[in-house]
Amino acid sequence: MTANLLCMPPLQLLFGTSDDLLRWLHNHGFKILAIVIVALILIWIVRLMAAHIVRIAAHRPDSGREQQLRTLATVVNSSFTGFILLIAAFEILVASNVPVGPLLTGAGVAGLAIGFGAQTLVKDLITGFFVLLDDQYRVGDTIRAAGVQGTVERLTLRRTVLRDGDGSVHFIPNSDLQVVTNLTRDWRLAQLRVAVHYREDPDKVIAALRAAGRAVRADANFRNRLLADVVVPGIDRINGDEVDYLLQCRTLPSAHDDLLRALRAAVRRELAAAGIAAWYPQVNLPLPVTQPGNP
């Protein structure tokens, strides 16, 4: 009996005689063929969607956003394709009269075990997907998240890599991104406080600070990097003999630190030219007490 089974052709071993094969094709073949055709059409539509996202990414001037869109296209393609193939496989089994109950039970138990063991990983992937979809931040942005601050060097579905000011690299799982503060989205507000002595005339000080702002605005290095003129709202704080004046300006994120350095230099020049004294802390030392009769 075993020798006869080994000598049988594979198709005959699976479906029996040719009449049994034709009967099986008549009862199940067309259903399976329809399932395969529908699955292929759906996969083709998903790939068209992913290709459309890639074409949109190719026309983005921002390379960081382009990278995000390409990552999103890859995720959409792989995730939906896997889901369609899984559903099609189960439908083919059902159309073939194969009992799928035990398979579903086993898959449910395995999925439950994997879910408990990898729930953090799944949360990382889901959060990373929505970070990409919502365009919360991009490579090159400076953000504050999970208790650290730095520049985004890499962004994936699983983690975000930040580098802070002293060069340290922080690897943040996306599941830890509860609140994210993007410090460089579209523009930044540069603010500078200048302290002068209380005796200085406020109108004279404000005129000197505005002259410093105009000088920076006219600088060729900042002409196209400042989004507005430097504004001097006036006195921001008074503390004893110290009076603080505020300067503000909206800039491109990349020009923020350079602007503050140039603005400090211009303020120093204008204050010196106007004869305005900058405030500095003064320490009054007590005179030594001399006893009567002592020289």
Which pLDDT score, from 0 to 100, does residue 270 have? 95
Residue ranges of domains in the chain? 10-117, 137-182, 188-274
DSSP code for 142: E
The first and second tokens of residue 194, run together, are 């200048």
Instruction: Report whether CATH 1.10.760.10 matches the domain 188-274.
Output: no
The percent of the chain in helix, strand and coil, each rounded to the nearest 5, is 55, 20, 25
Query: Which helix (H) or strand (E) element contains residue 172?
Result: strand 169-173
H-helix or E-strand spanning residue 36: helix 30-58
Q: Does the CA dihedral 121-123-129-132 come out positive or negative?
A: negative
> What is the b/e burial string over 83-121, where b = at least 16 CB atoms within 10 angstroms of the residue's CB?
ebeeebebbbeebeeeeeeeeeeeeeeeeeeeeeeeeee
Query: What pLDDT sits at residue 295?
Result: 52
pTM of the model: 0.58
Taking the C-alpha atoms of residue 56 and residue 48, their distance in angstroms, rounded to an integer, is 12
In the predicted model, what is the mean pLDDT of the chain?
Answer: 81
Query: How much is the pLDDT for 285?
Result: 55
For 235-288, give the DSSP string.
Answer: EEEEETTEEEEEEEEEE-GGGHHHHHHHHHHHHHHHHHHHTPPBP-----PPPP
pLDDT score recorded for residue 150:
92
Task: Report the top-level CATH class of 137-182.
Answer: mainly beta
Are 146 and 136 in contact by the 8 Å Cβ rule? The answer is no
Residue whose structure tokens are 């068209």: 48
d(CA 163, CA 151) in angstroms, rounded, equals 5
- What pLDDT, in 10s, does the model give residues 64-83? 566 667 777 777 777 788 88
Cβ atoms of 239 and 197 closer than 8 Å: no
Tokens of 252: 């491109």
Strands 231-239 and 242-251 come out as antiparallel
Q: Judge if 137-182 and 188-274 fold alike in CATH terms.
A: no
Gap between the Cα atoms of 265 and 259, Å rounded: 10
**Between the CA of residue 72 and those of 64, 130, 260, what are the distances in Å?**
13, 9, 37
Give the Cα separation of 78 and 80 in Å (integer): 6
CA distances from 281 to 194, 220, 237, 287 (A): 14, 36, 16, 19
Structure letter (DSSP) for residue 200: S
What is the edge-to-edge ordering of all strands in the sheet holding 159-163?
169-173, 159-163, 148-155, 142-145, 180-182
Work out whether the CA dihedral 15, 16, 18, 20 comes out positive or negative.
Answer: negative
**Intervals of the chain under pLDDT 70:** 1-26, 57, 60-68, 100-101, 103-118, 282-295
Q: How high is the pLDDT of residue 3?
A: 45
Query: What's residue 128's pLDDT?
Result: 85
